[in-house]
Structure 1
């Protein structure tokens, strides 16, 4: 099997199941000559009969046992054109009434939907909610890709379109795939191989992270054996070896020769497999499972094994388990399935996805598709195709059926292996026209991709292909020889475009054919999406990006399409539905939108959405609930779910439920990691409800009350916690100060916040500055005192290096106390004005990096304040006096209170001129008293009491009026 390519003998008269006999002595004598030859070879090469003889003779025993089985076993290789050709030929000769197929038994109902698809596609079993498996495995996915150049598709098409034929899937169910995976660790996820240029093809991910069902997996599991075969065969990878030494020779062989060779290869790989107990146990359990199901079906239906055909991988055909055969007697109990609910459907597949999932060489499936077409043209075998198959030709007029040609019964299966293995290779002659066409086509494709290829390169590729084939003992260059020659002659030192020469050869040989699931085979959710997007008048099933323009002003019915697109953007991968113009926020709706849609490219994701529900609204609601009630749910995440429920689903039912859940999660949190996101979400929801609803939802009021008490409790700890960032502490203060008025109106006590601030004892500069800002907001520290402290920091040489961190804290303080923007601008300006250059220049990079890293989003606030403070023209700078250098406030620390109460400020004058507002507030609070006019005479009711007790109001008005 490792020498030059060998072609089998000419086609012998066709045989059917009657050519096989039961296990008897004549059957044993059928391979007597081959046994004798192998015994002599083992003696000669191994210096005596021993282990080698046991392996060689054991392989013959495996072939003999499989051939003599009354139920005809048809061994196949995964996506092999030779297997598909032999299958099509055998089905027309034998016309079996029952076809047993190695495929997950729970996938049977989906097979009839293949006629609504364009191959290649994959039959998928999917489970998002697992019961009985580890939670980290979810979602579970099993796929079985099907191509036209595969024996399993020929069997499926024959069974579904032939009256009276029954198709029975006998392999383990999708649930058992993961049951056995759990016991034996069979699951080994692999990363899909990247192309030579390092950029992975998007089609390689069409199967996602699904576990592939290997139908006819035939590859050595003994690394040394595979390395030996590749080295002796002078090929690079296993796909090339199989194509050269098995695929091509078996293309013209008869049925019995094909079976015996495949049995022999399967037995060789099985006997030389390493003693991996887990892997071997799984393989044997699969074989026991399949033969148990076959015997159960035969017993229940009463079918004659002579009228049946068992299609399985050659590796499993050479089985030695006790359950083998219709007469097997070994006991095997099939375990019940778990409680996991499985969904089934069809997803698009591609040649690249199949190669990536099953470890095949890039381009091998495309080359197999080309070889399949050449085999059909050469042998004129009529393949089976499902009626109505997408892309199929119209069926010809029905002809009179020709009875199958049968051979007379034989006493034993004829030995075809001896002749096949001893026949000298029949070398294919060079097809110069074909090779010349390949050379011209690859140069044309290379020029389109940016290569500087010419006619001389085409000649070089032609000659180099012949040279490489000769060096590898081949008379005719294979597609792999041609690919190596093209890479050598055209691809020099760089790839000018997106594709390299290797990829160009693959495309030229047949391309990465990508399947498509038809509308009728889609799940209800996917069909509903296509129906609801029908007003867009786009061909959404086509691959590629399509532009959709929505003008809801002139066509109001497109508003429903917009709702669907926004939900698809939320549920599907990036790129499936991407908005170009328009946005959707709380309280905002665009009247014109532009979208880039690629639903055909992301058809698998849309189909998998259909496994979760019957409409996208249902799926979205389920996902929002799962996020909110999951074990890792955070307050910010639940508030995001509330916002999404309001944006996409409308109504108050789900939003109120998730809001109540946010309250529960907040009460259970003991950290402040999500405080910035919580502040942003709550502010947005409050703004929306205050404008869109007559009253606030009850959960919002409860959340504000609970949040106020919660953050007051955590505030002293957060100021000293090293794991909490200054931004998180600032967000806590922002929640407390911005929600203070609402929280106090709902019954909260402001003394709780004052006590929390008083108990805070930060040690680092950033949090110290943040605490000072909080004290200013609470009235415990005046702005003049804050300015004095900043001046003391600049005057202390030991503190100057840490001054940028104080500024960073002041910038973060703009979140809870935005009115301090002028103080921050003053602090920065004083630093630039007072520090000498030897100190300022080393200090400046630290200031820039600190502000950029910790407060980049707050820089616009400072810029606007600086623009308002500093003069707009250069000429005015000479006479400009900073506001903080104007006449200071008069009086001692209580001067502010004196100014407010005595009417020395414009804010107090405004209150005296319009006392109605303050009187109303005083009446609500139950304050009694009279106004005191500037001359000391009584002038009004209790508003003056409030002004005296709370002078900050008057000072704030003065700041707004004077800009100071």
Structure 2
């Protein structure tokens, strides 16, 4: 054990004895902190502890890299993300390195898709290390943290509960975040204690005030020892969450194992290496710690899941939402980074050719002489030193005050110069109340909210958000064209004829005059596929639609591909072209274990609509036929009916013959729905809409089904075996019987009259009418009768029965308006008078006096007269009936007809048509 920290140990023993009843527990914790710092400082392979997105860490990292000029940089980042880091030079920061797996093998299927992101900003220590290693000749960058696959192997991290509503904060989606230096107390009581005594609201403000600012100007040794101490403190005071502790320790074992493997394979000298990790992991107590640690940790193999890697745009708001940081903290860190660079004159590292960055010369190849690290105590001096009170920078604070008022006015606030003065003075007042000589950005933000935001927010941004934007909070990264996956580049290339800046954020209008420029039809195809694959708003049609069998003429689109760049990049993980991705998704939907015949038909329609190929449509149609044969419910009958009708209409107009799969589907569907029809009529779970759709399929597809070999007796038996009790289904059955010819319209009209005449049935009569309205699906020829029935209901039903039914009627017509309303309107226009003056004298056709019916004629008299008038016909019929002889007198015919009265009646009907 080194004696460099003996003085500090002695002081901590005295403090433990003075502040605790029993010195053992507190002494063990305090001395353990010093031991952890001592151990980390004495490690031959220099450990550089950092905090994620900390300007102080980034400044210390840039300074140390220029001093030491290490030949090998070990970085705490997922090792499988290394090939993507070179693409950072083609991007504008902040961006996030992403690992993405759509098809998982070795993980539960409900976890898919798996996504891991590691955001990178310019004001982060890891970016400084990456830029130094990639642009300095002879330097090797080695990522040593667990792979994205191991992230889910060891312990599935919980993604965010729900994507943030803010567009900028939702850039990472529901991906799992991986960061360097998760420095936050895991002991809730400790964090609450620090916030209360620090007079701050949240952890980000505490870190900025008590760690970030004091370490900004510290030397290298002091910075390292303080960060080691903080990491050890949070680690030792963490709750006993065995799962979390196990994952943390396994990560440390993993990283030290990878570093020893690399040192052994490359022969590098540990003195020429630098290990960059989070301060929480720097003061590790695992046996594998250090280049001389044990080597017994076995790294499990990765699963068989296929991982894709790419860069996605990020933002300060997205990073804050991902890692639970206070809103505006990353923006304030970026502002602090720029101030630190100006104050310390440290020259940061930037990748050559970095988009949006100034060109900087790479560091010199020869390292500066660096004194050998000696474990000396810099920690005691830092802990004894009183906090440095920065003098008030009035010019900076005044500039902030003027700028926030200007931004507030642009966002609808009635702010004035007086408000700027109030913000200035209130910032100083709040800093004094919080024992700070200089207002921090957090004090300024509170002052601006207090002085400017009065009663309401006039625009879509409140004052707090305005301050965040003023500090750089609206900075959003962008992935350059060269760093995009092949699919995204292909989309940009194919949409190039539109002459739009597709990389630009925001909405752009695209006008496609396909009639005059036929080459734009290919752009239209791409846009419709993007609309299908990407989130709402990425590609939104303003004018134009895509229907089966139709060709576009003119279209207008609102495009926001730059805003939804992450979604476009993630499409590139699924395939090399949007056609391939669309085909995969359609197959996945059709072959899903929970897929229905309706969903499979939807996939067929989409394949025909967007891919315009018969191969995939035939395959998915065969799949729809397979799914239909296994269904035992009629839940999807309405959608099945509508999609089959559209597909049939398309194939009949565009193909010489119908595809084999749709003929088989119609044939199988006819038998399938005939079998389920009696059960559906009596099943309470089957709605009248579903039963109407079944009947619509049977009657509308009947001609095709019979031509394919189906038997109409199946439908007749199904109708005869149906015995519903619910009024709307009873009316639906009556309509089906009329359509089938079993029931005449006169009989149907008589049954409705009986219902209206029965006082006990009147409350249920509207339900019969609902059934008749739904019956227009299978029997559109009954439109005139439905108009008659509804008119009679309005005329005869009492108001207590009629009025409660009207909302149901309106709802039904609204849901089925495209199919039912035109039929009813057209029929009503034919029946009702066209002029108002004719309405007073108008008599409904169903109320007109019917013509006098002819008196019934008995077969014995009228039949004799009929056969007597046509002797040749009578002789032919007699021969068919097996009677010998011809017609001579009336008596033999009368005798014949007398022996066969039923036949005589049938002959009378045939010959007279009565």
* TM-score, normalising length: structure 2: 0.92
Structure 1 equivalent of residue 774 of structure 2: 812
Kindly report which structure 2 residues correspond to 1:120-131, keeping only aligned pairs within 5 A, or say none.
Answer: 120-131=94-105
Partner Cα distance (1:170, 1:831) in 2: 79
Kindly report which structure 2 residues correspond to 1:257-296, keeping only aligned pairs within 5 A, or say none.
Answer: 257-296=222-261
C-alpha deviation, 1:892, in angstroms: 9.9
1:666 to 628, 640, 645: 628
Partner Cα distance (1:401, 1:753) in 2: 88
**DSSP-derived class of the 1:673 partner:** coil
Structure 1 equivalent of residue 92 of structure 2: 118
Kindly report which structure 2 residues correspond to 1:438-587, keeping only aligned pairs within 5 A, or say none.
Answer: 438-587=400-549
Structure 2 equivalent of residue 406 of structure 1: 370
Partner Cα distance (1:545, 1:704) in 2: 45
Q: What whole-Å deviation, never above 9, does each CA across 1:557-579 have from its counterpart, x for those lacking one?
A: 11111111111111111111111
Structure 1 equivalent of residue 9 of structure 2: 35
Q: What whole-Å deviation, never above 9, does each CA across 1:435-480 have from its counterpart, x for those lacking one?
A: 1111111111111111111111111111111111001000000000
Partner Cα distance (2:652, 2:850) in 1: 41
Q: Which runs of 5+ in 1 are unaligned?
A: 1-24, 195-199, 896-947, 956-964
Structure 1 equivalent of residue 153 of structure 2: 179
**DSSP-derived class of the 1:585 partner:** coil
2:805 to 809, 834, 847: 847
* 1:191 lines up with 2:161 in the alignment: yes
Partner Cα distance (2:89, 2:445) in 1: 34
Higher mean displacement: 581-590 or 58-67: 581-590
Structure 1 equivalent of residue 25 of structure 2: 51
**DSSP-derived class of the 2:681 partner:** helix
* 1:419 lines up with 2:381 in the alignment: yes
Contact 2:629 2:668 in 1 (8 A): yes
Contact 1:83 1:151 in 2 (8 A): yes
1:694 to 636, 643, 656: 656
Structure 1 equivalent of residue 341 of structure 2: 376
Structure 2 equivalent of residue 223 of structure 1: 188
Q: What whole-Å deviation, never above 9, does each CA across 1:783-811 have from its counterpart, x for those lacking one?
A: 01111111111111111111111110000
**DSSP-derived class of the 1:879 partner:** coil
Partner Cα distance (2:856, 2:813) in 1: 34
**DSSP-derived class of the 2:144 partner:** strand
C-alpha deviation, 1:885, in angstroms: 2.2
Higher mean displacement: 661-670 or 825-834: 825-834
Contact 2:505 2:562 in 1 (8 A): yes
2:59 to 69, 81, 85: 85
Q: What whole-Å deviation, never above 9, does each CA across 1:391-420 have from its counterpart, x for those lacking one?
A: 122335x7976751322x46x411000000
Structure 2 equivalent of residue 18 of structure 1: none
Contact 1:805 1:850 in 2 (8 A): no
1:353 to 299, 318, 329: 318
Q: 1:894 to 1:683 in 2, by over 3 A?
A: farther
C-alpha deviation, 1:890, in angstroms: 7.1
Partner Cα distance (1:355, 1:590) in 2: 44
Contact 1:143 1:212 in 2 (8 A): yes
Contact 1:583 1:589 in 2 (8 A): no
Q: 1:894 to 1:552 in 2, by over 3 A?
A: farther
Structure 2 equivalent of residue 437 of structure 1: 399
* 1:879 lines up with 2:879 in the alignment: no
Structure 2 equivalent of residue 624 of structure 1: 586
Structure 2 equivalent of residue 802 of structure 1: 764
Partner Cα distance (2:79, 2:431) in 1: 44
**DSSP-derived class of the 1:588 partner:** coil
**DSSP-derived class of the 1:347 partner:** strand
C-alpha deviation, 1:621, in angstroms: 0.6
C-alpha deviation, 1:45, in angstroms: 0.5
Partner Cα distance (1:401, 1:699) in 2: 70
Contact 1:192 1:204 in 2 (8 A): no
Structure 1 equivalent of residue 792 of structure 2: 830
* 1:729 lines up with 2:682 in the alignment: no
Contact 1:99 1:167 in 2 (8 A): yes
Structure 1 equivalent of residue 285 of structure 2: 320
Q: What whole-Å deviation, never above 9, does each CA across 1:798-827 have from its counterpart, x for those lacking one?
A: 111111111100000000001111111111
Contact 1:92 1:404 in 2 (8 A): yes
Contact 2:162 2:174 in 1 (8 A): no
Q: Which runs of 5+ in 2 are unaligned?
A: 858-905
Contact 1:251 1:375 in 2 (8 A): yes
Partner Cα distance (1:538, 1:224) in 2: 54
Structure 2 equivalent of residue 717 of structure 1: 679
**DSSP-derived class of the 2:168 partner:** helix
Structure 1 equivalent of residue 264 of structure 2: 299
Q: 1:803 to 1:193 in 2, by over 3 A?
A: closer
Partner Cα distance (1:775, 1:275) in 2: 74
The count of residues paired between Structure 1 and Structure 2 equals: 859
Q: 1:414 to 1:363 in 2, by over 3 A?
A: same
Partner Cα distance (1:576, 1:362) in 2: 26
Partner Cα distance (1:668, 1:344) in 2: 40
Structure 2 equivalent of residue 678 of structure 1: 640
**DSSP-derived class of the 1:589 partner:** coil
C-alpha deviation, 1:831, in angstroms: 2.1
